[in-house]
């Protein structure tokens, strides 16, 4: 399925073309993962300059390639969001020939990313013991729902499942509504980030001692660690937080408020900001009230303070308040819809939101949301868009393990690739 050629929102984004970063230049990564978490880890490494080869099932590829609609140029937009900077090689790793080829590639790699449980890794001869016997310097990364050990290690897991385990769903939404999933695959993205961060640490250690590393990332644990600012207060006090629509922060005033038109966010995180807010809105006497002198006192009187702030902010539109409070250095902001986020001029100017040439060249431009990290003023390159399935099979088999064209054609005829 392809997207109609009519004008799409990303056509308004600035076009960007930039060379790759070189921080991980020369680092070879085999990405055998699918869906979101593992591919995101691979994309982060590619963004920093690693050569990332995505190993996919012949015919179908990464599960996320089928996640849609929406599709663009025949590709899932979910897939396009976490797979830039990679080469795609199709390989049947369940076949003896496919396993043998993969093991040859492992011998040339620095990192292998997997999202298979331990049982499946052993069955496919992808476990750390097998692969590090081939390449002792290998960084072997397992990114699963529950980790490689323990009573739940063999269970399947998606982002939704991990969010439920972590407690974040119980704290998301209004008190009178059922638990809600976070509006993005938070556990996937956090675990993928953890995997990439762990790879960097392992590669740094390898520079010192020459040894590879076994990395075990569990989505449930990554997502649960994300909840630390909620879990530790419960463990240390016994006070159980429940969902309140975000109106129970440890900061007394840290929530959404209505205005004369659109809602806004407001965070009065310390005494100086508290005073600046009331001075900005023309009520310095409230800031001077000794009953509100500390955050603890403001929490005790939160209800009446919230009512007072709500009454003030309802008087004028959001744009007025954002300009006024910005000038006073009071943390406040809009609540963007996705279309408003996409039109954010500051983010576009920063290079975070852009369009670039797709896998089929200038005629297949695609939107991208960038790394958002700059190294010496530069961020991720755009020369390697998310790949078509198997687009680089011949290139990688030729350059990495010196297969001849005739051998590659034979493998293709045998449906190994």
Q: Does 170 share its domain with 106?
A: yes
Blockwise average pLDDT, block size 10, the chain, 417 residues: 67 95 98 98 98 97 97 96 98 97 98 97 98 98 98 96 97 93 97 98 98 98 97 96 88 96 96 97 96 95 96 98 97 96 95 96 95 97 96 97 96 96
User: What is the structure's pLDDT at 1?
Assistant: 41
Q: Does 195 share its domain with 260?
A: no
Q: What single string gives the DSSP state of each residue in 48-92?
A: TT-EEEEEE-TTT-SGGGG--S-EETTEEHHHHTS-TTEEEEE--
Q: pTM of the entire structure?
A: 0.94
Does residue 33 form part of some domain?
Answer: yes
Instruction: Give the C-alpha separation, 416 to 412, whole Å.
Output: 6
Q: Does 318 share its domain with 386?
A: no
Q: Which CA distances in Å does 6 have to 9, 11, 71? A: 10, 10, 14
Geometric angle at alpha carbon 83, from 77 and 88, rounded to 5°: 115
Instruction: Give the C-alpha separation, 209 to 13, whole Å.
Output: 46
3 state DSSP class of 176: coil
188 is catalytic: yes
Does residue 234 form part of some domain?
Answer: no
Does residue 1 form part of some domain?
Answer: no
Question: Computed from CA positions of residues 269, 273, 278, 280, in that sequence, does the dihedral angle turn out positive or negative?
Answer: negative
Q: Which CA distances in Å does 118 have to 4, 58, 213, 327? A: 43, 23, 16, 55
3 state DSSP class of 59: coil
- Given 340, 373, 396, the domain boundary residue is 340
Does residue 2 form part of some domain?
Answer: no
State CA 245 to chain mean position distance: 24
CATH, residue 286: 3.30.1540.10
Q: Does 119 share its domain with 170?
A: yes
Q: Does 326 share its domain with 177?
A: no
Domain with 65 in it: 9-226+349-413
Q: How many CB atoms lie within 10 A of CB 5?
A: 7
Q: Does 292 share its domain with 199?
A: no
Instruction: Give the C-alpha separation, 110 to 367, whole Å.
Output: 30
User: What is the structure's pLDDT at 5?
Assistant: 54
Backbone φ/ψ region at 369: left (φ over 0), alpha (ψ -120 to 50), beta: beta
Token match 């097998």: residue? Answer: 130
What distance, in Å, lies between the first and last C-alpha atoms of the chain? Answer: 24
In terms of DSSP H, where are the helices of 75-167?
Answer: 77-80, 96-108, 118-123, 128-134, 159-166
Q: Does 69 share its domain with 171?
A: yes
Instruction: Give the C-alpha separation, 158 to 181, whole Å.
Output: 12
8 Å CB contact between 56 and 389: yes
- Given 293, 310, 340, the domain boundary residue is 340
- Given 309, 340, 371, the domain boundary residue is 340
8 Å CB contact between 314 and 334: no
3 state DSSP class of 355: strand
Instruction: Give the C-alpha separation, 273 to 287, whole Å.
Output: 10
Beta strands in 166-312 (DSSP E): 213-218, 253-257, 264-268
Q: Does 206 share its domain with 259?
A: no
Instruction: Give the C-alpha separation, 299 to 286, whole Å.
Output: 15
Q: What single string gives the DSSP state of each residue in 246-262?
A: S---SSSEEEEE--SSS
Shortest CA distance to 276 belongs to which of 314, 334, 335, 332? 332
Does residue 388 form part of some domain?
Answer: yes
Geometric angle at alpha carbon 35, from 102 and 392, rounded to 5°: 45
Q: Does 175 share its domain with 284?
A: no
Q: Does 274 share its domain with 188?
A: no
User: What is the structure's pLDDT at 4?
Assistant: 47
Total domain count, the chain: 2
Q: Does 21 share its domain with 167?
A: yes
Does residue 244 form part of some domain?
Answer: no
User: What is the structure's pLDDT at 295?
Assistant: 95
User: What is the structure's pLDDT at 134?
Assistant: 98
8 Å CB contact between 29 and 42: yes
> Of residues 127, 188, 194, 216, which has the active-site annotation?
188
Q: What is the DSSP letter of 160?
A: H
Does residue 196 form part of some domain?
Answer: yes
User: What is the structure's pLDDT at 73?
Assistant: 95
Q: Does 376 share its domain with 333?
A: no
Does residue 69 form part of some domain?
Answer: yes
CATH, residue 128: 3.40.50.10540
Shortest CA distance to 89 belongs to which of 401, 406, 360, 367? 401
3 state DSSP class of 402: coil
């Amino acid at each position: 399925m392809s997207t109609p050629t009519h004008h799409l929102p990303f056509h308004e984004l600035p076009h960007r073309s930039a060379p790759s970063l070189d921080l991980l230049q020369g680092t070879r990564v085999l990405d055998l993962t699918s869906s979101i978490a593992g591919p995101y880890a691979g994309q982060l490494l590619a963004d920093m300059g690693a050569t990332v080869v995505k190993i996919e099932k012949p015919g179908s590829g990464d599960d996320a390639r089928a996640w849609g609609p929406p599709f663009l140029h025949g590709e899932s937009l979910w897939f396009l969001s976490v797979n830039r900077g990679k080469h795609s090689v199709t390989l049947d790793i369940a076949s003896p020939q496919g396993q043998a080829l993969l093991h040859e590639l492992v011998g040339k790699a620095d990192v292998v990313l997997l999202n298979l449980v331990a049982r499946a890794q052993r069955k496919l001869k992808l476990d750390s013991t097998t692969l590090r016997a081939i390449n002792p310097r290998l960084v072997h990364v397992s990114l699963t729902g529950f980790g490689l050990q323990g009573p739940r290690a063999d269970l399947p897991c998606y982002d939704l499942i991990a969010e439920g385990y972590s407690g974040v769903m119980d704290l998301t939404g209004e008190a009178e509504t059922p638990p809600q999933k976070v509006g993005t695959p938070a556990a996937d993205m956090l675990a993928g980030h953890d995997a990439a961060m762990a790879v960097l640490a392992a590669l740094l250690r390898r520079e010192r001692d020459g040894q590879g590393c076994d990395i075990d990332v569990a989505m449930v644990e990554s997502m649960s660690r994300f909840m630390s600012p909620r879990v530790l207060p419960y463990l240390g006090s016994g006070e159980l937080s429940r969902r309140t629509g975000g109106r129970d922060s440890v900061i007394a005033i840290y929530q959404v408020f209505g205005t004369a038109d659109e809602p806004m966010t407001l965070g009065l995180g310390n005494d100086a900001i508290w005073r600046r807010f009331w001075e900005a809105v023309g009520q310095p006497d409230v800031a001077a009230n000794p009953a509100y002198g500390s955050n603890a006192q403001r929490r005790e009187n939160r209800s009446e303070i919230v009512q007072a702030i709500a009454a003030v902010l309802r008087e004028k539109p959001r744009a007025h308040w954002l300009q006024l409070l910005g000038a006073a250095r009071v943390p406040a902001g809009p609540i963007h819809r996705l279309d408003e986020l996409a039109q954010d001029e500051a983010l576009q100017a920063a290079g975070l939101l852009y369009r670039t040439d797709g896998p089929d060249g200038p005629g297949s431009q695609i939107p991208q949301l960038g790394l958002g990290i700059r190294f010496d003023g530069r961020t991720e390159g755009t020369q390697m868009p998310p790949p078509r399935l198997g687009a680089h099979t011949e290139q990688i088999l030729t350059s990495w393990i010196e297969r001849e064209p005739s051998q590659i054609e034979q493998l293709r005829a045998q449906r190994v690739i």
